[in-house]
Amino acid sequence: MKNAKVFILATLPVLTFIYACKKTEAAKETGQTVVAAAVETEPVSETTQTKKGPAKETKKAYVKKETHFKLPDCAGGEVDLADYGGKPVMLMFFTETCPYCRKAAPFIKKAGELYKGRGLNVIAISLDDEASSAADFARDFGLTFPVAYQGAQVSRQYRTRGVPYIFLLTKDHAIYNVWAGYDESFNEEIISGIKEAIK
């Protein structure tokens, strides 16, 4: 029994040396350094991970989707969808004289105010070329969210067929849902969609 223990203790360093040599040779054959080969085969301990501290959060770059647009704002600035990266957005395409747009505006305003604190952003897009038309519409309904104009091209980009058209975009600006026209019966479904989009 004593001889067996001595034999095991004597052969252990030799076996360790042989194993290490084989690892070195395998690493050389694949073009890796010995350190790189060791990193692949040995798991990182939890203590090593915690010593480094929490990973720093990096801001994701905005990826422009087919929904992206940039338009002039009736307040004198511009509305760029990229500025709302990571946030859900509700869009309403309209014209100043459209009766259904005028019917939808108070609801869109109310929904925007109700869910603004939970991350929802609202943008109205006028198909009219004149800033004054968009500004008059915003003033008539007391809209405090951005109201863009010259939106005819963006309307075609979104494949709308008339006005109003209401789009709900997810946080990454994919289209979550679309409502063609407006009727008060849409309200419940729009609110339900907003609740999902802001999660």
CA distance 26 to 41: 12
One-letter identity of residue 106: P
CATH 3.30.450.20 corresponds to the domain 70-197: no
Q: How confident is the model at residue 17 (pLDDT cuts 50, 70, 90)?
A: very low
Query: What pLDDT is recorded for position 64?
Result: 75
Q: How confident is the model at residue 61 (pLDDT cuts 50, 70, 90)?
A: low
Does the predicted model carry a pTM greater than 0.85? no
CA distance 118 to 114: 8
pLDDT average, residue stretch 87-97: 98
Its sign, for the CA torsion 98, 104, 110, 116, is negative
pLDDT average, residue stretch 54-70: 68
Give me Rg for the CA atoms of the chain: 31
| Token digits of residue 120 | 């929802």
pLDDT in tens, 94-149: 999 999 999 999 999 999 999 999 999 999 999 999 999 999 999 999 999 999 99
* Domain range summary for the chain, segments of one domain joined by +: 2-50, 70-197
